[in-house]
Amino acid sequence: MSNNLNEIAVTRDITKNQEILEDIIRETIDIVYYRFKTYDTREYLVVYFDDIINKEILDRDVIGGLIANAKTKFNNNGNITVEYIKSTIHFSNIDESMEFETVVDRLLAGDVIIFTEGLNVALCLPSQGWQQRGIIEPDAEIITKGPREGFVETLKTNRSMIRRKLKNPDLVFESLNLGKQSKSDINIVYIAGIVNETVLSQLKKRLEKIDIDAIIDSGYIEELIKDERLSPFNTVGYTERPDVVVSKILEGRIAVLCSGTPIVLTVPFLFVENLQANEDYYSGFIIASINRMVRFTSFLLTIFIPGLYVAIATNHHELIPTKLLFSFIASRVGVPFPTIIEVLAMILIFELLRESGLRLPKGLGQTVSIVGALVLGQAAVEAKFLSAPVVIIIALTAITSFIFYKINGALIIARVFITILGAMMGLYGVTLGAIAIFLHLYSIKSFGVPYMSYIASTEYEELKDTVVRGPWWKMKMRPRIINFRNVVRNGNVEDK
Amino acid sequence: MKRLTFTILISIILFTTIFSGCWNYSDVEEQFVVMGIAIDYDEKEKEYMLYAEVSRAKGGAEAETITRLESSKGTTLFEANRNLITRIGAKVYWGHTMVYIISERVAKKGITDVVGILNKLTQVRTDIFIIVCDNDSIDNIFEFEDPIHENVAQYLADLMKNFESSGKYRKAPLFKINQELASDEISLILPCITMEEVEKDDSDKEEGSGKDSVQKDEKPNKIIVTDGSCVFKKGKMVGKLNEEESLDALIVKKEVTKGYSLTVEEDMGVPNSSIEVINSNVKVNSTIDSKDNLILRIEIEIDADLVEIQSEDEYLKTEVREKIEKRFEKMLEEEIGKTIKKNQDEFKCDIFAFAGYVHRQQKEYWKANSNIWEDIYTDVQVSIKADVKIKSSALTFQPLKVGG
């Protein structure tokens, strides 16, 4: 049925129109066909989905307008026109449609459709209205200094948050529908003139290729448009914060908004963005730089600590200071498993704890932490199932991994990989593993932009926003690798 | 090109630090760490005796260690090392060995064998301390019980680390000994230790406390004390310097430069007094006189704190201070002169590395005479000039006032 929708035109007979619609849209309780006659005997058919429109606007401004004007301005010359109806309805952006394809799409998206007896044009009134979650600070991206608002599930509200921050005629929202069944609204946001055109056309091409049933969350898109699909590292960024999105599109990136989710995607995404946090730019550059360095250290620690421990404790006893060696031995005496098994088991236990704690109702979460801390932490060491250094090592790994929860998957794989290599070949293995991981990182790209851009740069200008966050008066250029046309971000060039 | 050089440089640093050493999997608790090793030689059996102090941590929250003493014999040291397995039940781990003690017997026989094997064993660290012990104490050197340290090796390692404040013995890690053994321009000296019964040592320092005498009744309480230095010539021990002579030698060798103390007895109108050296510098100048004789001039400059003076006078007055300085200068010149003379006459050993100075300063003379350096050294005229400057008087300027 839906295949040849575009061939069906709106007729002048509203009864026929209703029949066609009833034919296309299956019988469901939430659709309303409201037929009424005004005083001037014109007959209208108003069709809408009851739950996704603003009923108040419909009753007061649309139907009220039609009825009231029929009484006061009696127009009896017989010819009804679209202009006449538009002049009676208190509504701003009325669209006209003559095909049922558009009509059905608009109806499903929450428009009110008005058919008029004698007119082969349907009027589409975008009067969506539904309950939406309030704008709150996103739980996953809490900051101490900076704006508190976060995206919600409604596209319009999300767009408004971006537009409010960028009063710029070049700010462009482009719309497209994805998902064969869901017809989800997707918006692409960028600043014309700053955006990298190659990335933009690449993104559009990849989005158009998507042919999936439904886009329920932007995660679907993320996985479908990502380069290096098998890489555990993320080459598409995401955030719930409008301020982050705005700063990203100001650097020439493109944001992808998706209706029904507060998660907004940004491309291209570079590795260095894992180290950055929006708060870096709101607090002073000194504390921001310290935080950056802490994060960078954490990244190395969370991958390498278990591997280094295993390597040194099993292959390089001479590298351990004598007193530390004795304390290692003291904790290991009586433990039945080899160090590598201990460490892998502890990594597994930590992941179990993390996963079970994540989705538990709040009341049960406490149970998990008690069981985890007491039973696994203390009792396991006392019962000589695990040695204390391993618990410390994994605790340190866990703490540092939370800083990079967005790439947790990649970190787990890298960690286990390094740990096993460390047990097999000692520091030699750790080094080989590190080389392998970095080779991989340096080989992947995000929308044509090398993933590790800036991290290994030897150019002063490019290093200003990596492991340190340079002061604003020094960061005059936008990242050149993403955006190469309009590069000056801070025009106030000071003399040296 | 720049990037390539950078990459290569980083790789070299990385690979040499990380890829060196051997790797094989073993858990830490499988290691029987030998903390200290003592070597003796049995002349009759023609066998090396090896005394080992093996430590293992007890299991538990605290890192307590259990120490076991064991000995073994072998024609070679390596055999003796492996024979330890039959006594201990496992191959001992040398990666954390701190001290390597050699008996005087072995030292007289020649240390090239026993030091050589340290360089060959893969696990041994190059900062392991080498110490000479007298023949009577070597077999029970590890039986010394020090309540402060967990084992004797740690006590000795601490002793070595703090050598500079004492100045009376030398710190001799393996890498330094390797260098000195190989060099033609210096003779090796090694620190000496011995075991002493406590009472002898205490009698003149402390006024016999009751507790000590009670302990004496239970068992003879022997402690390890330093005993000057051994002088080696071509890898063989030829004699010993006492503690004061060791200090003199180490000052001239510039091995102790700060922190040590010097003491003079009452003379030249100066009472008993001690200075703490802030910094000492030694210059050795070699000149050739008209008769083609080598003359060595040693200049010792010392900046010091006057820490203790057994007098109630105002010692910071310029005249008094100069007097004290003079007294110290005289003491240094005499003592060091005697020590050098002893080396020249008795041992014929250039432990001060004078050869190096001559080599650098008188190149032609050295070229012509390097093969007969030993003869030249024994006869060379050495003049010593000490220059002591008292810079301050520790914390207070004034002597303690004693009222009526």
Q: Which of B24, B28, B60 sits opposite A325 (nearest CB)?
A: B28
Confidence band of B22 (pLDDT split at 50, 70, 90): low
Whether residue B162 sits in one domain with residue B92: yes
User: Are residue B183 and residue B272 in the same domain, yes or no?
Assistant: no
The C-alpha atoms of residue A14 and residue A17 are separated, in whole angstroms, by: 5
Q: Which of A325, A340, A343 best probes binding to B when mutated, by most B CB atoms within 10 angstroms?
A: A325
**Closest chain A residue to the Cα of B126, Cα to Cα:** A318
Question: Would you put residue A99 in left (φ > 0), alpha (ψ -120 to 50) or beta?
Answer: beta
A425 — phi, psi (to 5°)? -130, 10
Query: Which range, A66-75, B304-313, B354-363, has the best average confidence (pLDDT)?
Result: B354-363
B201-259 pLDDT, tens digit each: 444 444 444 444 444 445 567 888 888 889 988 888 888 888 888 898 889 888 888 88
A386: tokens are 């695990």
Mind listing the pLDDT tens digit for each residue in A311-349?
Answer: 999 888 888 888 888 888 888 888 888 899 999 999 998
pLDDT, average across residues A361-374: 78
Per-residue pLDDT reduced to its tens digit, A247-283: 988 888 999 999 989 999 998 898 888 888 888 888 8
User: Does B20 touch chain A if contact means CB atoms closer than 8 Å?
Assistant: no
Considering the domain boundaries, does residue B102 fall inside one?
yes
pLDDT given for residue B56 in this prediction:
83
What domain count does chain B have? 2
Contact (CB<8Å) B28/A427:
no
- How far apart (Å, rounded) are the C-alpha atoms in residues B80 and B110? 18
Is the Cβ pair A330, B62 closer than 8 Å?
A: yes
Contact status of A308 with chain B (Cβ, < 8 Å) = no
pLDDT score of A494 more than 60: no
Same domain (yes/no): B135, B65: yes
Contact (CB<8Å) B21/A323: no
C-alpha distances (whole Å) from A105 to each of A54, A215, B7 are 18, 16, 59
User: Is there a contact between B3 and A315 if contact means CB atoms under 8 Å apart?
Assistant: no
- Cα gap A292→A294, rounded to integer Å: 5
- 8 Å CB contact between B227 and B148: no
Q: Position of tokens 């558009």?
A: A102
Q: Do B96 and A317 touch (CB under 8 A)?
A: yes
Number of H helices, E strands in chain B: 14, 13
| Residues B161, B282 share a domain | no
Contact A437, A422 (CB under 8 A): no
Strands B99-103 and A449-450: unpaired
Percent of chain A scored above 90 by pLDDT? 26
Distances (CA, A) of A31 to A3, A113, A258, A259, A463: 22, 12, 25, 22, 58
- The pLDDT tens digits of the residues spanning A125-160 come to 888 888 888 888 888 888 888 889 999 998 989 999
Assigned token pair, A68: 């009231």
Q: Are B195 and B137 in contact (CB under 8 A)?
A: yes
Is A332 within 8 Å of B56 when comparing Cβ atoms?
no
Task: Compute the distance between CA of residue B170 and CA of residue B172 in angstroms, rounded to an integer.
Answer: 6
Asked if the structure places residue B117 within a domain, the reply is yes
Together in a domain, B229 and B255? no
- For residues A155 and A237, give the distance between their C-alpha atoms in angstroms, rounded to a whole number: 18
Look at residue A142 in the predicted model and tell me its pLDDT: 86
CB A414 within 8 A of CB A437: yes
pLDDT of residue A326: 86
The per-residue pLDDT for range A204-224, each reduced to its tens digit, is 999 998 888 889 999 899 999
> Following DSSP, what letter does each residue of B288-313 receive, concatenated?
E-TTS-EEEEEEEEEEEEEEEESS-S
Q: Are residues B222 and B307 in the same domain?
A: no
Please compute Rg for chain B using Cα positions.
25
> Looking at residues A374-399, what average pLDDT do you find?
85
B80 assigned to some structural domain: yes
Task: Quote the tokens at residue B40.
Answer: 């003796």
Q: Tell me if chain B has a CB within 8 Å of the CB of A362.
A: no
What pLDDT, on the 0 to 100 scale, is given for residue A485? 65
What's the per-residue H, E or C state across chain A?
A: CHHHHHHCECCCCHHHHHHHHHHHCCCCCCEEEEEEECCCCCEEEEEEEHHHECHHHHHHHHHHHHHHHHHHCCCCCCCCCHHHHHHHCCCCCCEEECEHHHHHHHHHCCEEEEEECCCCCEEEEECECCCCCCCCCCCCCCCCCCCCCCCCCCHHHHHHHHHHHCCCCCEEEEEEEECCCCCEEEEEEEECCCCCHHHHHHHHHHHHHCCCCCCCCHHHHHHHHCCCCCCCCCCCEEECCHHHHHHHHHCCCEEEEECCCCCEEEECCCCHHHHCCCHHHHCCHHHHHHHHHHHHHHHHHHHHHHHHHHHHHHHCHHHCCHHHHHHHHHHHCCCCCCHHHHHHHHHHHHHHHHHHHHCCCHHHHHHHHHHHHHHHHHHHHHCCCCCHHHHHHHHHHHHHHHCCHHHHHHHHHHHHHHHHHHHHHHHHHHHHHHHHHHHHHHHCEECCEECCCCCCCCCHHHHCECCCECCCCCCCECCCCCCCCCCECCCCCCCC
Contacts with A189 (C-beta within 8 Å, 6 or more apart), sequence order: A159, A162, A171, A172, A173, A174, A245, A249, A254, A255, A256, A257
- Do B229 and B339 belong together in one domain? no
Query: Measuring CA to CA, how many Å separate A54 from each of A57, A60, A93, A153, B155?
Result: 6, 10, 15, 17, 86
C-alpha dist (Å) from residue B276 to A303, A308, B79, B167, B226: 51, 45, 48, 11, 20
Q: Is the pLDDT of residue B72 over 80?
A: yes
Instruction: Spell out the residues 6+ positions from residue B305 whose beta carbon is closer than 8 angstroms to its own.
Output: B275, B276, B278, B390, B391, B392, B393, B394
Q: Is A315 on the interface with B (CB under 8 A)?
A: yes
Q: Could you give the CA distance from residue A142 to residue A244 in angstroms, rounded to a whole number?
A: 12
Is this prediction's pTM over 0.90?
A: no
Overall average pLDDT of the B53-69 stretch: 80
Q: How many residues are present in chain B?
A: 404
Which of A232-241, A376-385, B265-274 tops mean pLDDT? Answer: A232-241
* Residue found under tokens 């000496």: B192
Q: How many CB atoms lie within 10 A of CB A486?
A: 13
Higher pLDDT, A1 or B384: B384
pLDDT at B208: 46
* DSSP structural state of residue B173: B
Query: Cβ contact (<8 Å) for B28 and A388?
Result: no
**B317 in the same domain as B194:** no
Cβ(A204)–Cβ(A254) under 8 Å? no
Say which CATH number the domain at B336 has: 3.30.300.210
The answer as to whether B225 is a domain residue is yes
B148: contact with A, CB 8 A cutoff: no
Q: Which of residues 51-110 of B touch A (CB under 8 A)?
A: 55-65, 93, 95-96, 98
Residues of B in Cβ contact (< 8 Å) with A426: 23
- Same domain assignment for residues B226 and B283: no
Q: Is B43 helix (H, G, I), strand (E, B) or coil?
A: coil
**What are the residues whose beta carbons fall under 8 Å from the beta carbon of B210, sequence distance 6 or more?**
none
pLDDT digits (tens, 9 = 90+) for A401-426: 888 888 888 999 999 999 999 988 88
Statement: residue A173 has pLDDT above 90: yes
Output the pLDDT for position B202: 46
Answer whether B272's CB lies under 8 Å from B278's CB. Answer: no
Helix (H, G, I), strand (E, B) or coil at B36: strand
Residue B354 falls inside a structural domain: yes
Domain encompassing residue B271: 251-404
Single-letter code of the amino acid located at A260: G
Cβ burial A200-237 (10 Å sphere, 16+ → b, else e): bebbeebbeebebeebeebebbbebbbbeeebebbbbb
Does the residue B72 lie in any domain? yes
Q: Which of A329, A424, A430 is nearest residue B57 as measured by Cβ atoms?
A: A329
Over 70: is that where the pLDDT of A431 sits?
yes
Contacts for B184 with CB less than 8 Å, ≥ 6 apart: B355, B370, B373
Q: Please indicate, yes or no, if residue B92 is contained in any of the structural domains.
A: yes
A426 conformational bin, left if phi > 0, alpha if psi -120 to 50, beta if neither:
left
Q: Quote ipTM for the complex.
A: 0.74
The Cα–Cα gap between A301 and B37 comes to 38
What confidence category does residue A486 fall into, taking pLDDT thresholds of 50, 70 and 90?
low
Residues B284 and B394 reside in one and the same domain: yes
Same domain, B275 and B224: no
C-alpha–C-alpha distance, residues A381 and A389, integer Å: 9
Length of chain A: 496
| Residue A137 φ/ψ, nearest 5 degrees | -75, 130
Q: What is the mean pLDDT of residues B356-370?
A: 86
Joined together, the tokens standing for residue B57 give 């941590």
Give buried/exposed letters for B8-21 (b at 16+ CB in 10 A, else e): eeeeeeeeeebeeb
CA distance B76 to B47: 7
Partner residue facing A330 (CB), from B23, B64, B98: B64
Note the maximum CA span of chain B: 83
Q: Which residue type is seen at B213?
A: S
State yes or no: pLDDT of A73 exceeds 70.
no
Establish if B19 belongs to a structural domain. Answer: no
pLDDT mean across residues, chain A: 85
Among the candidates B177, B207, B241, a domain finishes at B241
> What's the rounded Cα separation, in Å, for the pair B346 and B245?
13
| Residue A438 contacts B where some CB pair is shorter than 8 Å | no
Same domain? For B169 and B258 the reply is no
Residue A495's pLDDT is: 42
Average pLDDT in the B333-347 region? 88
The confidence score (pLDDT) of residue A2 equals 47
Judged against a pLDDT cut of 50, whether residue A62 lies above it is answered with: yes
Provide the pLDDT for residue B27: 82
Q: Is B42 exposed, middle or buried (0-12, 13-18, 19+ CB in 10 A)?
A: exposed
* Rounded Cα–Cα distance for residues A184 and A216 (Å): 8
A425, B33: Cβ pair inside 8 Å? no
Rg (CA), chain A: 30
